[in-house]
């Protein structure tokens, strides 16, 4: 159990059986009465947000969260298989749950899987991955305008915007948090 004085931005708490993360926090001590702790929170499962105010005497539940290091192993139909780094126990996570993260999965890459009551609620991939550009138009010679981009596809069909000097076969670094081009690693 947490007391209201433990509340801070980034803290994970449990309300009505769901895990919530505090996204914004404000402490207020009026002239009379008890201190108030105003929190903006986001549900870690549904993504819904809410505002809630706690008094200093309130007690808040801790969620049953566990973070595990797991390696991405292989795709299996509508699921992706991850294996625990220590026990090698396998876990299947649906394609629907992972969303666009499926484009950034690389076999044997280490991921952080957040579990709530034994069920995966979040998968954190390595911040950057390197992928080969499978298809893009050649850049126009002499086009030196800054910040000019063009579409490019990586080997799994995901499309990103890249600078005009990137060509088919180049290896690029992609930020998995945003899905955007970060830098060129090597030329084709």
What DSSP assignment string belongs to 65-108?
A: EEEEEEEEEEEETTEEEEEETTT--EEEEEHHHHGGGGGG--TT
**Which range marks the domain in which residue 109 is found?**
65-124
pTM (2 decimals)? 0.77
pLDDT value at residue 140: 63
CB 67 within 8 A of CB 120: no
Q: What is the mean pLDDT of each run of 10 residues along the chain (188 residues)?
A: 89 92 91 88 91 91 92 93 92 90 92 91 92 86 70 92 91 93 87
pLDDT of 145 reads: 62
Final residue in a domain of this structure, among 106, 124, 142? 124
Rounded to 5 degrees, what angle do the CA atoms 119, 121, 123 make?
115
CATH of the domain at 90: 2.40.50.140
Which helix or strand (DSSP H or E) is residue 98 part of? helix 95-98
Token pair for 15: 């309300």
Maximum separation of any 2 CA atoms in the chain, in Å: 71
- Give yes or no: residues 132 and 180 share one domain: yes
Task: Answer yes or no: do 117 and 138 share one domain.
Answer: no
Structural domain count of the chain = 3
Task: CATH number of the domain at 48, please.
Answer: 2.30.30.30
Q: Please state the φ and ψ torsions of residue 72, each to the nearest 5 degrees.
A: -75, 125
Q: What are the tens digits of pLDDT across the range 146-174?
A: 678 899 999 888 999 999 888 999 999 99
- Indicate whether 132 and 120 sit together in one domain: no
**pLDDT for the residue 124:** 93
Are residues 96 and 116 located together in one domain of the fold?
yes
Please enumerate in sequence order all residues whose Cβ is within 8 A of that of 137, keeping only pairs 6 or more positions apart, or say none: 150
Single residue among 60, 81, 110 that ends a domain in this structure: 60
């Amino acid at each position: 159990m947490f007391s209201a004085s433990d509340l801070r931005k980034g803290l994970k708490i449990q309300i009505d059986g769901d895990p919530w993360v505090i996204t914004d926090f404000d402490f207020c001590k009026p002239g009379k009465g008890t201190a108030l702790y105003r929190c903006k929170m986001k549900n870690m499962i549904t993504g819904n947000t809410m505002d809630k105010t706690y008094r200093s005497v309130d007690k808040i539940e801790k969620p049953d969260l566990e973070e595990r290091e797991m390696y991405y192993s292989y795709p299996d139909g509508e699921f992706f298989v991850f294996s625990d780094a220590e026990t090698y126990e396998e876990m299947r996570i649906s394609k629907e749950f992972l969303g666009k993260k499926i484009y950034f999965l690389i076999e044997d890459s280490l991921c952080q899987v957040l579990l709530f009551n034994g069920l995966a609620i979040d998968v954190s991939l390595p911040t950057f991955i390197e992928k080969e550009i499978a298809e893009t138009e050649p850049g126009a010679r002499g086009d030196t305008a800054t910040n000019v981009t063009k579409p490019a596809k990586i080997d799994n069909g995901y499309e990103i915007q890249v600078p005009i000097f990137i060509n088919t076969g180049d290896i690029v670094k992609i930020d998995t948090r945003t899905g955007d081009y970060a830098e060129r690693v090597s030329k084709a």
